[in-house]
Structure 1
Amino acid sequence: MGTGVNRRWESGTLAHSVSDPFGQGPLPWLRSPDQYVADGGVPWYVSVDAPGQQPLTAPPPAPPVGTPANSDDVVQQIKGFASAGVHRPGGAVDFRVTVNPPREFGVDVYRIGHYGGDGARQMTSSPLIGGISQPAPLVVGRTVSCHHWWQSWRLQIPSHWRPGAYVAVLTTADNRHRSHVPFTVRDAASARPPELLLVLPDVTWQAYNLFPEDGRTGASLYHAWDDLGGLVGESEAAVTVSFDRPHAGAGLPLHVGHAYDFVRWAERYGYDLAYTTATDLHAGLVDPTRYRAMVFPGHDEYWSEPMRRAVEQARDAGTSLVFLSANTLYWRVELSAGPSGEPHRLLNCRKRQRVQPGGPAAGLHGSASALWRDAGEPEQLLLGVQYAGSVPVAAPMIARNTGHWLWAGTGLHEGDEVPGLVAGEADHYNPRVPLPRHAERILLAHSPYRDSAGRRRHQQTSLYRALSGAYVFAAGTFAWSPALDRPGHTDARIQRATANLLDHLCKEA
């Protein structure tokens, strides 16, 4: 593959990053002799002096010589993924890993959390494992799957481990290359339910996954490659993608940092969290009505009908909903079994493409696209606001109704600005779309910005109370979660407002 093709290959993840002003880049782990950073950058997950931290003034120390580089998707020096299953303390999680050329590798397992500002804690390390070069990914149409890879290592999850967001860091024994595998440890089935249920958006993560970013075979619901190694758009992208494959690039999903920002902040202040995934919601493996509130901490764009119905039923039973991003509940998807028969391993969404009727990607008969809006159920019916568009240049959020309890103690007054908080993508109230049934409703921000065509738009932050007594909060911007614990983006006023919200929901429930 020539140099020009390599450059196009490297543009794959960057093509998605235009919608995320908090692009991650290569991902380091812990401030220790083993850390690695890119171009002297700051580790994206590290809380330096939150709350209310200011942008860092001194560069971090340079990484030590010989620090592992991230594996790429062309050579695939080391790549892996976690196999299907619901992982709980006392259970196990299996990893399937390819190493090219074959050599030994190790696995270090971290749990995301505050941990004194480190951002994660190492939980265990594997012995050296004999790595093999797994078979090439299977490709059918635009769908790429590695379900046929051999199991490489089984992690027995100790019964004392806390539920949470975990990352397995794969490193070749020669310390030259590294990759990452995210997985979630759920609560024990018999455990007392915590107050808050955190939903990690694994369905949306897969929609963006372009693995392998090799200029030839990789595809997401957004992009694929033409015969010359050029990146093509949605009209030629996949309509079905598999969970049975690594994530592209460094091995962590695009937008994963948005969820981890909330995790670090919430655990710093002792919030009682349970952990689940969007796939669990779809499969009916979690009862949301057991919790006082459900928190959707990151970009959560792709929803199946069972996911939506579970959340609606929870709201109507009195469970509050907290959406800390924007462009939520936008595309309607189906989950189907993988080639080996394991359920919910294929994500199907035709976007605006034409596909054969009757297949899982076909969507509802007669719908112009796979948008929930075209299915007759716009997202505003659940969220109270809905997607307005992208925000090419970050704009200030303009606080409104600052006498409301959510803004108490923030110091914000009517019309005050929170710089840079409208970023990435934004939601607004559409007066032509029905609102959910509610007992009370308020808009807490009304912020002008310019879209990519230069047109004036408005972002809005919404809070309504359903007839059941449940609250539904929608931040309406990508930048809310990063404002909780992202170096250079943290804002003490948003931290306090979020604490006000969660405290109120837990007390009111």
Structure 2
Amino acid sequence: MKPNEHGTASETDTMAQDAVTIVGYTDQFSIQPGQELNFMIDTASSVYTASVVRLCGGMPDPDNSSYLPTETIPADCAGEYPGRRQTTAAGSYAELPLPEEWLQGGEFSVQMWVCPTIPEYCRAQTVWSARSADGASGADLTLEEDGHVTFSLTGGCGQSVNVRSDAPLEGNAWYFVAVQYSVRSGAATLYVSYRDGWKPNDDTQVCTAAAKLDYTNVVISRVLLAADSDPDALARTSRHYNGKIGNPRFFREYFNEEQLHDLSVGADKGTDGLLLVADYDFGVDISSSRLVDLSAGGYHGTLRQGGTRAVTSHNWNGEQVDYRLAPEQYAAVHFHDDDIEDAGWETDITWRLPEDLASGVYALKLEAEGNIDYIPFFVRPVQGTVTAPVLFLAPTNTYLAYGNERLFKLAKDYLPDDYVLPAQDVYLDEHPELGNSIYDLHNDGSGVQYSSRLRPILNLRPHYRNWRAVRHFSADLYITGWLEQRGQSHDVATDDDLHNEGIDLLRPYKVLITGSHPEYWTRPMMKALEQYLADGGRLMYLGGNGFYWVTSLDPDRPHLLEVRRGNSGSRSSDSPPGELFHSTTGEPGGIWRHYGYVPQRLVGVGVTALGGGTACGYRRLEDSFHPSAQFIFDGIGDDEIIGDFGYAAGGAAGDEIDRYDLKFGTPRHTLWLATSTGFDNNYQFLHDDQLHTAPGQGGCDNPLVRADMTYFDIHGGGAVFSVGSINWAGSLAWNDYDNNVSRISDNVLKRLLAEQDSPAVPSAEGV
């Protein structure tokens, strides 16, 4: 590696990986020269050192992640820092800023719709709480460990009373719940009415306890839904609830049973007069974290740490599945005790990037107690400028989607007895508060639909290898390492940049290169790529299972990615009935092919099978000998197996693979250059393409289970080269980039950078 003007020649970091002793994150994935980047660090060590490095490639030996090619960058933030602990409070909840004196009249009613998802749990869950500043006074509604609900009150003089339901709540069932107190009648009441499905009777519980509590001087400083204020630190929360809550209302009034029944069936909204304190409608402003109060007081609340919106409420009738057409039927929030939107750590290091810092992949390198960690970030050129003819697009949406993936827990049966979890996964297993990937499930069994970059992401590390192979970010460094090793000038940008800038980002570049798994694309990204190719752009799709899931980035919270799986595609969870549309943008979720963006039509190939454990190489097909393809295979033998080696499962074709298929829109003039052979039944045919299951659909028996290499030209000078496999990157770096996978990649890039056009001639009829 040649030195550049910012640092030393390439060096190799040596790392101990016995344990993770320091972690952190940054507030941006993409950053421009001259801008500031903030880093948040947590360590039990008393002191640590920080430096900035350019990541010059992937791990030369993934079986020994102690070595990583880097280049030190002079930075004024480099040096020694005192260590400190930072805490993460996971669990979504709502903060409702009711007036401080609202309990002081000694008569109140709180009403809401409640649908618990795990009513019997390992601990109590708070549905609603109101606390004084010192925590000594207030009230709460709690779902106990056995599924019963308890209404608890504590007055200003320390008197207290509890009212407990006679029967437990059922899971995934809706209840109208009201809690009331009247100092005049001396009664505290818990009203629970089952309103979900058929019952042989009304199934309403009315539980009352005598109580004389003094709220005259009680000042309520905090009202929460789905959590309680932590008794040890009221600014924190505890006892988070799992389930839905709909449209809470607060009154300075005590209702009789007939009135409560009318309120539960909507016969009387009960919001007239001056006794209404707040009336929240969760069907308003669904795309935001704002909870709208319809009362004259306008005590609008705020969702904290996520919480899923655009979910069905108690009155959903199935006639509309787009929440925008019936928002009153989506007036609920689904809370989870493991939600996280922002770890909320304080900044430890701020670095203003030099104005002349070259575009590339960088990291803040942290060292504590002999261990090293990296916090990656991507330096793009200043917006509106270009410094190279090639753009590598880092698939940061994919990194987020898989961020802190915990599937290693489910993979234990498939792993060898001597397999040792990476230190990052061990740490992740010990720290559930760092949140999940969208491949995981919440504690209540519902699918995770949001992922945030404002938290440590342990598998977004250059020295990380998961239980399957070198994958995602660590694999993509083999692609940027190839460009670095070849001395090919290139810029780096991220999915965020393409989403925000569209075709303006891509238009100046002669060649666009993808990462190994560009799976999660937003609509603005898809439209930009389509326009780029139509305008004569040239693409090297060096991955597999790309352009697959409909993905949204929250316009107001750009750190937050949303994916709703729908009910098709190779998915880790289903979207519940009526909950397909993204809360942040209103887009329908699912896979892009259902909305016209079929990968074969765009790039020649589309996903066909998912597997793992083994990989193989490619064999040349007839089209590879066509004169139009001769440049691709310059230096490659006629019978040479391409990529029967590599750092990812030992082959260039593997993991998730794509196929050429004219029926799905592969352009008819596409050259079908090579295909893989030798997949076993670990590779199963994608069920997207099946109408029913049947024998013979695995890799050994199904001719559609294959990775295909293709190339086609586009009128106006554009061209697309696709390799149809995630594992291509893992073979690219094999033998210090001296191999036939690298040779083919070199040949294609050289031609695409050339000024002249070379239209391909169709020579195969395809599948």
Q: Which residue pairs with 1:247 in the alignment? A: 457
Q: What's the secondary structure of 1:402's corresponding residue?
A: helix
Q: Which residue pairs with 2:50 in the alignment? A: 107
Equivalent position amino acid for 1:138 in 2? A
What is the alpha-carbon distance in structure 1 between the residues aligned to residue 670 and residue 486 of structure 2? 28
Q: How does 1:11-22 map to 2 (within 5 A)?
A: none
What is the alpha-carbon distance in structure 1 between the residues aligned to residue 732 and residue 642 of structure 2? 17
String of CA shifts for 1:367-418, please: whole Å, max 9, x gaps.
xx61112233221121111001124321221122333234332232157554
Query: Which residue among 564, 574, 593 is the counterpart of 1:350?
Result: 564
Q: Is the 8 A contact 1:441 1:464 kept in 2?
A: yes
Equivalent position amino acid for 1:421 in 2? A
Q: Is the 8 A contact 2:581 2:587 kept in 1?
A: no
Decide whether aligned partners of structure 1 residues 413 and 275 sit closer, same or farther in structure 2, where only a CA change above 3 A counts. same
Q: Which residue pairs with 2:543 in the alignment? A: 325
What is the alpha-carbon distance in structure 2 between the residues aligned to residue 432 and residue 85 of structure 1? 38
Q: Which residue pairs with 1:48 in the alignment? A: none
What is the alpha-carbon distance in structure 2 between the residues aligned to residue 152 and residue 481 of structure 1? 35
Q: Is the 8 A contact 1:131 1:152 kept in 2?
A: no
Within the alignment, does 1:387 sit opposite 2:603 as a pair? no
Within the alignment, does 1:214 sit opposite 2:430 as a pair? yes
Q: How does 1:273-422 map to 2 (within 5 A)?
A: 273-284=490-501, 287-337=505-555, 341=556, 343-352=557-566, 353-355=574-576, 356=579, 359-360=582-583, 364-365=587-588, 370-392=590-612, 393-400=614-621, 401-403=623-625, 404-413=629-638, 416=641, 418-419=643-644, 420-422=651-653
Q: Which residue pairs with 1:146 in the alignment? A: 342
What is the alpha-carbon distance in structure 1 between the residues aligned to residue 719 and residue 587 of structure 2? 30
Within the alignment, does 1:500 sit opposite 2:747 as a pair? yes
Structure 1 residue 179, shift from structure 2 partner:
2.2
Structure 1 residue 486, shift from structure 2 partner:
4.0
Equivalent position amino acid for 2:728 in 1? W
Query: Which residue among 428, 443, 447 is the counterpart of 2:672?
Result: 443
Within the alignment, does 1:82 sit opposite 2:26 as a pair? yes
What is the alpha-carbon distance in structure 2 between the residues aligned to residue 215 and residue 135 of structure 1? 11
- CA-based RMSD of the aligned residues comes to 2.8
Q: Is the 8 A contact 1:350 1:362 kept in 2?
A: no
Equivalent position amino acid for 1:373 in 2? R
Structure 1 residue 466, shift from structure 2 partner:
1.9
Q: Is the 8 A contact 2:552 2:562 kept in 1?
A: yes
Q: Is the 8 A contact 1:221 1:239 kept in 2?
A: yes
More deviation, 301-310/141-150? 141-150
Equivalent position amino acid for 2:79 in 1? P
What is the alpha-carbon distance in structure 1 between the residues aligned to residue 379 and residue 681 of structure 2? 39
Structure 1 residue 316, shift from structure 2 partner:
0.9
Identity %: 21
What is the alpha-carbon distance in structure 2 between the residues aligned to residue 428 and residue 412 of structure 1? 23
Decide whether aligned partners of structure 1 residues 487 and 346 sit closer, same or farther in structure 2, where only a CA change above 3 A counts. farther
Decide whether aligned partners of structure 1 residues 184 and 169 sit closer, same or farther in structure 2, where only a CA change above 3 A counts. same
Q: Is the 8 A contact 2:30 2:380 kept in 1?
A: yes
Within the alignment, does 1:258 sit opposite 2:491 as a pair? no
Structure 1 residue 304, shift from structure 2 partner:
0.6
Equivalent position amino acid for 1:344 in 2? P
Equivalent position amino acid for 2:451 in 1? V
What is the alpha-carbon distance in structure 1 between the residues aligned to residue 643 and residue 28 of structure 2? 42
Q: Is the 8 A contact 2:341 2:560 kept in 1?
A: no
Equivalent position amino acid for 1:248 in 2? L
String of CA shifts for 1:132-185, please: whole Å, max 9, x gaps.
22231433335323352111101222233211001212222xx24432211011
Equivalent position amino acid for 1:423 in 2? G
Q: Is the 8 A contact 2:391 2:513 kept in 1?
A: yes
Q: Is the 8 A contact 1:484 1:494 kept in 2?
A: yes
Query: Which residue among 728, 733, 736 is the counterpart of 1:485?
Result: 733
Q: What's the secondary structure of 1:145's corresponding residue?
A: coil
What is the alpha-carbon distance in structure 1 between the residues aligned to residue 624 and residue 580 of structure 2? 50
Structure 1 residue 282, shift from structure 2 partner:
0.7
Structure 1 residue 284, shift from structure 2 partner:
1.2
Q: What's the secondary structure of 1:181's corresponding residue?
A: strand
More deviation, 200-209/448-457? 448-457
Q: Is the 8 A contact 2:57 2:479 kept in 1?
A: no
Q: What's the secondary structure of 2:727's corresponding residue?
A: coil
Q: How does 1:147-186 map to 2 (within 5 A)?
A: 147-172=343-368, 175-186=369-380
Structure 1 residue 263, shift from structure 2 partner:
1.2
String of CA shifts for 1:471-495, please: whole Å, max 9, x gaps.
011111122222221458x552221
Decide whether aligned partners of structure 1 residues 361 and 296 sit closer, same or farther in structure 2, where only a CA change above 3 A counts. same
What is the alpha-carbon distance in structure 1 between the residues aligned to residue 581 and residue 521 of structure 2? 19
Query: Which residue among 106, 118, 127 is the counterpart of 2:79?
Result: 127
Decide whether aligned partners of structure 1 residues 154 and 69 sit closer, same or farther in structure 2, where only a CA change above 3 A counts. farther
Decide whether aligned partners of structure 1 residues 327 and 496 sit closer, same or farther in structure 2, where only a CA change above 3 A counts. same
Report 1 or 2 for greater relative contact order, CA contacts < 8 Å, sequence distance ≥ 6: 1
Q: What's the secondary structure of 2:670's corresponding residue?
A: strand
Decide whether aligned partners of structure 1 residues 249 and 428 sit closer, same or farther in structure 2, where only a CA change above 3 A counts. closer
Structure 1 residue 311, shift from structure 2 partner:
0.9
String of CA shifts for 1:432-484, please: whole Å, max 9, x gaps.
31235x7x420111223334244432221111112332001111112222222
Decide whether aligned partners of structure 1 residues 279 and 136 sit closer, same or farther in structure 2, where only a CA change above 3 A counts. same
Q: Is the 8 A contact 1:203 1:302 kept in 2?
A: yes
Decide whether aligned partners of structure 1 residues 111 and 450 sit closer, same or farther in structure 2, where only a CA change above 3 A counts. same
Equivalent position amino acid for 2:675 in 1? H
Q: Is the 8 A contact 2:552 2:582 kept in 1?
A: no
What is the alpha-carbon distance in structure 1 between the residues aligned to residue 74 and residue 17 of structure 2? 19
String of CA shifts for 1:318-363, please: whole Å, max 9, x gaps.
11111101111111111105xxx5x421110021332546543797
Q: Which residue pairs with 2:467 in the alignment? A: none
Q: What's the secondary structure of 2:71's corresponding residue?
A: strand
More deviation, 376-385/321-330? 376-385
Q: Is the 8 A contact 1:103 1:130 kept in 2?
A: yes
Within the alignment, does 1:95 sit opposite 2:313 as a pair? no
Query: Which residue among 719, 722, 740 is the counterpart of 1:471?
Result: 719
Q: Is the 8 A contact 1:329 1:372 kept in 2?
A: yes
What is the alpha-carbon distance in structure 1 between the residues aligned to residue 42 and residue 352 of structure 2? 20
Within the alignment, does 1:35 sit opposite 2:14 as a pair? yes
String of CA shifts for 1:95-140, please: whole Å, max 9, x gaps.
11122x363222122112269x973211146222233222314333
Q: Is the 8 A contact 1:325 1:477 kept in 2?
A: yes
Q: Which residue pairs with 1:15 in the alignment? A: none
Q: Is the 8 A contact 2:515 2:541 kept in 1?
A: yes
Q: What's the secondary structure of 2:673's corresponding residue?
A: strand
Query: Which residue among 419, 429, 434 is the counterpart of 2:660?
Result: 429
Unaligned runs of 5+ in 2: 1-9, 61-67, 93-335, 406-427, 465-470, 567-573, 645-650, 683-697, 758-767
TM-score (norm 1): 0.76
